Structure 1
Amino acid sequence: MLHLSKITRQAISFKNFSTSAIIKQEAVGTVGNLPTKRPVGGFRGGILGFLFGFSISSGLSIYYLQQENKIASGLLLASIEELQQGTGKISSHLERLQFVENELNSLKNQSAIKDDVLKVRGEMKKVYDGLHLELLDLRAHVWGVEQDLQKVVKTGKL
């Protein structure tokens, strides 16, 4: 390690080197590396700058994420409300369909089917035919009474 005198060290620390007599003096001692003086705040300032930048960027990132989360939550809430409205509409349609189905079932139970209609039609034909036969019988009877009445009128006897 090289030991320099106080004057030589002061001369080396000047920004502008000059070729004065002080600098030309050589130091007596061993040869080695010169101890370099590091700036005290340089390393700390770098760490402080890094930490300051990191904290600013972290804060901005958190703010951005919160805003994005707020927007996404709002969209999700709007979607849920639309879903609830759609579910309400579907429920009302289902209630109407159930009401219509109940009405249809009651009408089916009350309505006549084809076999019932054919059965009633056959019975009506029988009733009509029976009435027609009775009418013919009645006409025959009335005709007989008219014949008897005409005989009585012509003969005068009963």
Structure 2
Amino acid sequence: MLSRFSASARIASSLPMRPVLAAGRRYESTLKVGDAASTSSARPAQEAPKKKRPIGGFRGGLVGFLLGVTSAGAFGFVYLIDEYQRATSLVLSSVDELEKSSQKVREYVKKIEVVESDLRKVQQNGATLQQLAQLKADWRKQNDILTRDHLELKAHVWELEQDVDSAMGRTSSAKPKPSK
């Protein structure tokens, strides 16, 4: 009988073991996967040890959490730096444009100052309407004086011609008409 048991034990050890649960106990079955007619020996397996709560799960969760927080922080930091660089470049371009426009404004202000100084010179050297009216009145007065003096001289020359003609015994011509 011993040989029979040892032969069945040999066969059982060569077959794959499947755990079977029955009535709260664990049994192992040595049924061959394709062979339903083969012998099976059902023997109680070792008592299942009581489950201990592994502390490694907590450690793994903590490490995973820290790894996730660190990687999220790193990606957030990289994103923040990228956004900061974009914002800085936009501000820098705005400052450059502002500098160019302020330079244009300075040039316009210089041109306006030159025109204002030229205008002041023209105002100082130019004549006003009142001065022009006074100048026109003076010119008319001088013109009238010159015309009167011219007529007086013409009349005097005519009188001299008359005296010369009477002294020479010629007939005198008619008195000339005054011209305006």
TM-score, normalised with respect to structure 2: 0.67
Higher helix residue share: 1
Task: Give yes or no for the alignment of 1:110 onto 2:125.
Answer: yes
Higher strand residue share: 2
Runs of 4+ in 1 over 4 A off after TM superposition: 18-23
| Two-structure CA RMSD over aligned residues (Å) | 2.1
Question: For 1:87, what is the secondary structure of its paired residue?
Answer: helix
Higher relative contact order (CA closer than 8 Å, sequence separation 6+): 1
1:4-153 mapped onto 2 (5 Å cutoff):
17-18=21-22, 19=25, 36-153=51-168
| Aligned-residue offset at 1:16 | 5.2
Which ranges of structure 2 fall in alignment gaps of 5 or more residues? 1-18, 28-42, 171-180
CA distance in structure 2 between the aligned counterparts of 1:43 and 1:16, rounded to whole angstroms: 31
Which ranges of structure 1 fall in alignment gaps of 5 or more residues? 1-14, 26-34
CA distance in structure 1 between the aligned counterparts of 2:92 and 2:101, rounded to whole angstroms: 14
In percent, how many aligned pairs have the same letter? 30
| Aligned-residue offset at 1:43 | 1.1
Q: 1:63 to 1:142 in 2, by over 3 A?
A: same
Which residue does the alignment assign to 1:31?
A: none
Q: How many residue pairs were aligned?
A: 131
Query: Which structure's CA Rg is the greater one?
Result: 2
